[in-house]
Structure 1
Amino acid sequence: MFHNKKHSLTSGAIIMIAMRWIDRLVGIVSTFILARILVPDDFGIVAMASVIVAFADIIFDLGINIALIQRKNPSQAYYNTAWTLRILQTATVAAVLMILAPFAADYYKDARVTAVIQMMALSLMVTSFENVGIINFQKDLRFVDDAKYVLFKRLVMFVMTIALTFVLQSYWGMIIGAFCGRLAATIRSYMVHPMRPRFALSEFGEIFGISQWVLVKNISSFLDRKMHIFLVGGLATTRITGGYTLAAEISDVPGTDLLAPINRVLFPAFARARDNLQELTRLLLRVQAIQVMVTFPACVGFVLTAHEFVPVALGEKWVFIVPFIQVLALSNIIQSINSSANYVLTVIGKMRLLALTSWIQLGLFSTGAFLLRHDLTPERIAQLRMGAIVMTFGVSYSLLMRNIPGLTVRMLARGTGRPLLGCLAMVGALTLLEAEVAAPNWLMLLLKVATGVLVYGLVVLGLWRLAGRPDGAESYFLNKLKRPAPAAAAAVPSEVK
């Protein structure tokens, strides 16, 4: 039974992940184009408003998607209640935002924030009417349908945002473009799925029973991800806030954004295996090894090429964000390792433990910020965030091992040794290259990327051969390269060493 599920998961997920990466690529390209058209001050206005809007949205988030995916056979009444709750939740958020917008502008010392927050609130209301039936794309592992829908939304938003920003030469192009993308996606959701939800609250009690700890976890996770941006917005200029926010977004690319498509597949996959701990453990080890193999060199490489990447991709006006990118990208290495563990804890119903972990990390960051409140700078805020992430690194895995019998540190570490040594070799090679070669930024960037890929690949493959070619991430990727996609589905390693 699980063999068939794994085969279906892997073969379908290959296409879905590729499409989701295309979606992320479109978003990244959009960011780079907007960075060329706009100035840091424009990004600052949008960033300031986005933090307030997202925080208000998360406070009232009932975790409806998780409740629907975890429920094995939800009735139509369950879907109707979920859809109704989402609309009520968003209407509450929109009303709160309309009231708080002027106060947010006072905190940021910029009156332009008020109108932007209010427009974003309207965008949230549009999204709340999205067809709840599209959740079944994830629930039923219909990866291609899910990816097509998300990609449609991204492309509409991309075209509208770039066109409007180019015409208006203002941050309003980003705001209105996002609104158009959300509206188009909501309409499209009723075209791609036949479900027609109605207003109902008959299943409120059961959904809320699942969602209350999701809500606690979401609030802490949001604060952990956005509190540093909020603090920067309060103590720095709009220009610095815009630069810091763009740095945070770009820093997510090599770690979080590379994993986002995989993680979207993982949650329903883990959910299906939650009653078989042996299978769940096997899936966790396999996925973690593959994630580490990709994200370790991507994040480290991004840190080492930031000085060349920023002026080439964004322009000289953004060079001041290089230190932000380097610190935040390092933080994402730890975040990427924790992602699969967090998904497993979620599907086995340990949301309280996840919430506790998030609050511990947030508490450490807040304590550091309070102690250094008279000497805070954007650079120091980024460093505090990284420190809090590092100090809570082991908490998630400690909780995971307590709840997954048989899982050990040795098993978890098997997939990290070779990538770690490969990264160390890459750091040495790029440091030597930078000391010995003088070249324009674009050429140095190409040389660093080529050298990093070559050195990392050779070291990892060499260590893998010396270890006797065990099943692991290396064999997984080599099989993908050697075989057609359908055959590769059977090549997923059963155990990571």
Structure 2
Amino acid sequence: MDIVSKSDDAPAQAGTPKGEKRQFRKVAARGAAYSGLAQGLKILLSMASVIVVARLLAPTDFGVIAMTTPITGFILIFQNLGLNQAVVQARTISEEQTNALFFYNLAASAAIALIFLAISPLVGLFYGDPRPAYITAASALTVLLTGTTLQHTALLNRAMRFRALSFVDITTAAASLLFTIGFALWLRNFWALWLGAFCGTVVNALLVWRIDRWRPSRRIVWGSARNMVKFGANLTGFNFMNFIRKNIDNVLIAKMWGSSALGLYDRSYKLMMFPLEKVNSPLARVMLPALARVQDEPGRYRRMFLLAIQTLSIFSVPGIMAVAMCSDLVIPLLFGARWTDASPIFFWLSLAAVTQPVSNATGWLFISSGRTKEMFHWGLYSTPVTIAAFLIGLPWGPVGVAKAYFLSQAVTVPVLYYWCTRDTPVSARDLYAAIVPTLLGGILAWGVVNLARGELSTIPLLATAFACSYGFSIAVQGATKKGRAALVEMTRLLSAARP
């Protein structure tokens, strides 16, 4: 018996294979629309939080939270053990398996909470500052609470209940923003950031338990989830390596240059990378179950994946190029004059982010096809290369680290494109074809903006950068046969997404 939450969004029986494909396409399109709308609102809320709270708190307050991020981030690796994706990818899942996975997650969360409490004094000793120790200990509460929601969220995703998930995401983000601003006005210190995030976690837990009616029971067969645990173990191994790769820069900068330098780097990183991750997350929510269902149909699998990454590229890369070419204006405008030193950091991180939309999407290939072991092997290569780059750039401060991160992409991205497409209907050439037209459009826009710099003030110049970047990118995309086909297909999907 397959455990699936009842959903108004889930595909109905359409009677014929052709009808089923049409219905599936409609569900996927609407799911993307719901998730896209939710993420758009979440990005606006996140940006508002970054901008408003940055004016209420000092860079060192953000630096304290960033010091703990490499440690608290472990909850996302060892809490779900890769089991959420295993639930989504599995063709069927029984009541016994669902119960076993729930209690696996709960046990892992309890163990990690105890570890956080035990190591918090060591964190304070490492940094020579007691404040990160307080945050690490307090995060044990977040770990325990989040552990109770993982299985419910996975079941909602498996059932393709994207509308419900989008509602949860938006409500959680709004609550977190309001609580963070309120605590920042009241406390004026780093605790405001943690308390705001924790209150958002409470709201999230209440909502997912209310929306998803599944409840754990004593019907447990521990061995029934063995294959899922193996799948999740490889994914957890990759997540562990990827976590180190994405957080070791914070540790190195904090240790060598202090919390103020880390605050500048962290805000620059969040401003650039955080929106990209927020775009990839909802698309992954839609694409993973969708690709898993058509993995036995190579043609559909390839078309679906390529359309997704072309859409990602068209919507994301021109915006990245626009803020990169105006980085010296963006940071003072959003954060204020005291953050001006973050401008060169933001510039190099923006350049590094150009390949991120497509690179992030390669995880869909690994996971939907059950190739998490190869995904783990990729992490074993990319992590040491990136760490070496950070160490090379570290003597030049956070700017040197950001520049080194950009340069490391030239070594890792080609290998990633080759490795992720092995034994799949998708080729590395397909990935390059998805990103090159938008890159060319951005380069053309950069030339126009440089010519206009002496003639336009800040806001008109930023508007010109965005208009030219998106306009040229779409024009270049439309100049090729595949690009025109992608634009037409995007239009069809938008039509299918209508109620």
Shared fold (TM-score, shorter chain, > 0.5): yes
Deviations 1:41-62 (A, max 9, x none): 1001111112211136524651
AA of the residue aligned to 2:461: K
AA of the residue aligned to 2:464: T
CA distance in 1, matches of 2:227, 2:362: 26
Alpha carbons of 1:9 and 1:204: their partners in 2 closer, same or farther (altered >3 Å)? Answer: closer
CA distance in 2, matches of 1:376, 1:396: 28
Tell whether the 8 Å contact from 1:126 to 1:183 is kept in structure 2 after alignment: yes
- Per-residue deviation at 1:294? 1.8
- Per-residue deviation at 1:216? 0.6
Q: Residue 403 of structure 1: SS of its match in structure 2?
A: coil
Match of 1:341 in 2: 362
Tell whether the 8 Å contact from 1:274 to 1:280 is kept in structure 2 after alignment: yes
Match of 1:395 in 2: 415
CA distance in 1, matches of 2:119, 2:359: 34
- Per-residue deviation at 1:358? 2.1
> What's the % identity of the aligned pairs?
19
Match of 2:243 in 1: 222
TM-score norm. by structure 1 comes to 0.89
Match of 1:288 among 294, 300, 309: 309
- Per-residue deviation at 1:233? 1.4
CA distance in 2, matches of 1:231, 1:404: 38
AA of the residue aligned to 1:230: V
Tell whether the 8 Å contact from 2:344 to 2:399 is kept in structure 1 after alignment: yes
Tell whether the 8 Å contact from 1:38 to 1:169 is kept in structure 2 after alignment: yes
- Per-residue deviation at 1:273? 1.6
Alpha carbons of 1:318 and 1:179: their partners in 2 closer, same or farther (altered >3 Å)? Answer: same
How many residues align structurally? 478
Equivalent residues in 2 for 1:393-472, closer than 5 Å: 393-405=413-425, 407-434=426-453, 436-437=454-455, 439=457, 444=458, 446-463=459-476, 466-467=479-480, 471-472=484-485
Alpha carbons of 1:432 and 1:201: their partners in 2 closer, same or farther (altered >3 Å)? Answer: farther
- Per-residue deviation at 1:22? 0.9
CA distance in 2, matches of 1:400, 1:167: 48
Equivalent residues in 2 for 1:22-37, closer than 5 Å: 22-37=41-56
Alpha carbons of 1:460 and 1:182: their partners in 2 closer, same or farther (altered >3 Å)? Answer: closer
Match of 1:170 among 173, 186, 189: 189
Match of 1:16 in 2: 35
Alpha carbons of 1:450 and 1:475: their partners in 2 closer, same or farther (altered >3 Å)? Answer: farther
Equivalent residues in 2 for 1:203-218, closer than 5 Å: 203-218=224-239
Match of 2:323 in 1: 302
TM-score norm. by structure 2 comes to 0.89
Tell whether the 8 Å contact from 2:38 to 2:170 is kept in structure 1 after alignment: yes
- The runs of 5 or more residues in structure 2 that have no matched partner are 1-19
Alpha carbons of 1:150 and 1:254: their partners in 2 closer, same or farther (altered >3 Å)? Answer: closer
Match of 1:132 in 2: 151
Match of 1:365 in 2: 386
Match of 2:403 among 383, 389, 400: 383
CA distance in 1, matches of 2:150, 2:411: 41
- The runs of 5 or more residues in structure 1 that have no matched partner are 491-497
Q: Residue 474 of structure 1: SS of its match in structure 2?
A: helix
AA of the residue aligned to 1:384: A
Q: Residue 402 of structure 1: SS of its match in structure 2?
A: coil
- Per-residue deviation at 1:397? 1.8
Match of 1:101 in 2: 120
Deviations 1:243-274 (A, max 9, x none): 21111111115533333332322121111121
Equivalent residues in 2 for 1:213-292, closer than 5 Å: 213-253=234-274, 255-292=276-313
AA of the residue aligned to 1:454: A
Match of 2:201 in 1: 182
AA of the residue aligned to 1:273: V
